[in-house]
Amino acid sequence: MDVNTAALKDAILGQDFLTWLWFRSEKNGWLFRMADGGEVNVYLEQKVSVRGGEGDNVETAVVSGPNAAFAEAREGLKAGKRVDRALLRLEQDGNTWMVQLKADDLSLNALRTPKIETRAAEGEDPDGPILEKLFLVEKGMGFVEELYGQFLAARLGPDWRAELRAFADWLGEKA
């Protein structure tokens, strides 16, 4: 894909992904099955931003709160806006990752991995803590990539229209 086309499609794919992820995580009871057989809990947390319009008419609404149901952001969705930033909490086997995703580039902002011991104990490999940290960083990135892969399978699959109808029903339920 050439760079210009990619730049045009980035925001579309990123916003479709995050919007779908919000709905799909609630519909799934916040549970996603991974390709390796493991399961990951995915929650949208504290802060979500929705965006609509084009060019000079772009409008963004940022909704935040510790236990937010994001009612205002849902109103935004009803008005045709789509999610452009979300803070995700990912949980697996008692470990927690937090990451803020921006739809336009899917860069991983403020990625917080499970806590590690930053100093190697005596007799341990001095590189141990670094390697453990890298393992956790890559694991967090892997979760995001796999969720994105699941989105793409749905988005480009034959059942996307059915998924959109389910989305509209979900949005209506929360009125």
Partner 1 sequence: MPLMSASGSFTRYKIVGDVPDAVLREPVDILKHHAFQDIDATADERSFGWVSFEDMLDNRFASAPPQKAHYLLFALRLDTRRISPAVFKKHLRVALDAERQAGKEDGRNFVTKDRKTELAEQVKLRLMARSLPIPAVFDVVWNVDTHDVYLNSTNSKVQELFEDLFTLTFELHLERMTPSFLAARILGEARTKELEDIEPSPFAAGA
Q: Please give the residue ranges that form the binding site for partner 1 (CB under 8 A).
A: 1, 5-7, 9-17, 19-20, 77-80, 82, 98, 103-113, 115, 118, 127, 129-131, 133-134, 137-138, 141, 145, 148-149, 152, 155-156, 160-162, 164-165, 167-169, 171
Buried-exposed string 2-28: b where 16+ CB fall within 10 A, e elsewhere: eeeeeeeeebebbbbbbbbbbbbbeee
Q: Is 141 helix (H, G, I), strand (E, B) or coil?
A: helix
For partner 1, the closer of residues 58 and 152 by Cβ is: 152
* Min separation Cβ 66 and partner 1, Å: 18
* Min separation Cβ 83 and partner 1, Å: 9
Q: To the nearest 10°, report the CA torsion of 103, 107, 112, 114.
A: 100
Tokens of 90: 């990912």
Query: Measuring CA to CA, how many Å separate 80 from each of 49, 58, 132, 149?
Result: 13, 12, 43, 24
- Beta pairing partners, 40: 32
DSSP 113: P
For partner 1, the closer of residues 62 and 111 by Cβ is: 111
For partner 1, the closer of residues 37 and 161 by Cβ is: 161
For partner 1, the closer of residues 58 and 162 by Cβ is: 162
* Min separation Cβ 143 and partner 1, Å: 13
* Min separation Cβ 67 and partner 1, Å: 22
